[in-house]
Chain A
Amino acid sequence: ETGVTQTPRHLVMGMTNKKSLKCEQHLGHNAMYWYKQSAKKPLELMFVYNFKEQTENNSVPSRFSPECPNSSHLFLHLHTLQPEDSALYLCASSQKTSGNYNEQFFGPGTRLTVL
């Protein structure tokens, strides 16, 4: 596997279900991100992890719970979601260096539908 992979690619869940999205990066990066893309809206940053530590939570509801066990893996645990949470969830990674910004590399996304 190369780049950034995400599983599953598609997920349909009920509002009472618990599910998890998985992201893995094979690029040796030290920062990982979760984004949400709703229809006709810009990508919205949800969470940022640097060296496994969460450095940003963009006021995301607690029904979304991220987990970063190591710098290559990122999870998004979902529980009691609402239909308006249906969206494309994108994972990204980058190599964060002091004072410099490097471009983020994205996975293909998980298309989530909440019934």
Chain B
Amino acid sequence: DQQVKQNSPSLSVQEGRISILNCDYTNSMFDYFLWYKKYPAEGPTFLISISSIKDKNEDGRFTVFLNKSAKHLSLHIVPSQPGDSAVYFCAASPTSGSRLTFGEGTQLTVNP
């Protein structure tokens, strides 16, 4: 049973527009959420995180929104740039735990 799901395997966006990547989770024990970005031949790199005591966290062009009642989070990238083209992974954890549970990833392509 997959506890973190990213239902869109791919997303294509025009440069300058907004990219919205979605993630759903089922485990109510999760209260810390992260987004990672992965380029080919590299390991995932941490992008942004959010604790369940917040519903929004912003860092430059990247904003993560958390809807606890819907068990849903999303990553907004605006404006999107061609260099943002990568696979984006959503991950979740109980606050005090080490275990990260990952989604399957969404391949984002930003077209010039």
- The answer to whether A and B interact is yes
A interface residues, Cβ below 8 angstroms from B: 4, 6, 31, 33, 40-43, 45, 48, 50, 55-56, 90, 92, 94, 96, 99-101, 103-109
Contact B99 A100 (CB under 8 A): no
What is the size category of the interface that chain B forms with chain A?
Answer: 20 to 34
Contact A42 B43 (CB under 8 A): no
Is B86 at the interface (CB under 8 A from chain A)? no
**Minimum distance in angstroms from B92 CB to a CB of chain A:** 11
Contact A43 B102 (CB under 8 A): yes
Q: Is the interface of A mostly helix, strand, loop or mixed?
A: strand
CB-CB < 8 A to A94: which residues of B?
98
Contact A48 B98 (CB under 8 A): yes
CB-CB < 8 A to B73: which residues of A?
none
Contact bitstring B28-40, A, C-beta under 8 A = 1, else 0: 0000101010000
Is B85 at the interface (CB under 8 A from chain A)? no
Which one of A33, A48, A106 has the greatest number of beta carbons of chain B within 10 Å? Answer: A106
Considering the chains assembled together, what is the distance between the CA atoms of A103 and B51 in angstroms?
Answer: 12
CB-CB < 8 A to B103: which residues of A?
42
CB-CB < 8 A to A56: which residues of B?
98-99
Q: Which one of A45, A101, A105 contacts B32 once the chains associate, using CB atoms below 8 Å?
A: A101
CB-CB contacts below 8 Å: B17-54 with A = 32, 34, 36, 41-46, 49
CB-CB < 8 A to A45: which residues of B?
99-101
Considering the chains assembled together, what is the distance between the CA atoms of A48 and B46 in angstroms?
Answer: 18
Is B88 at the interface (CB under 8 A from chain A)? no
Considering the chains assembled together, what is the distance between the CA atoms of A94 and B93 in angstroms?
Answer: 14
CB-CB < 8 A to A41: which residues of B?
104
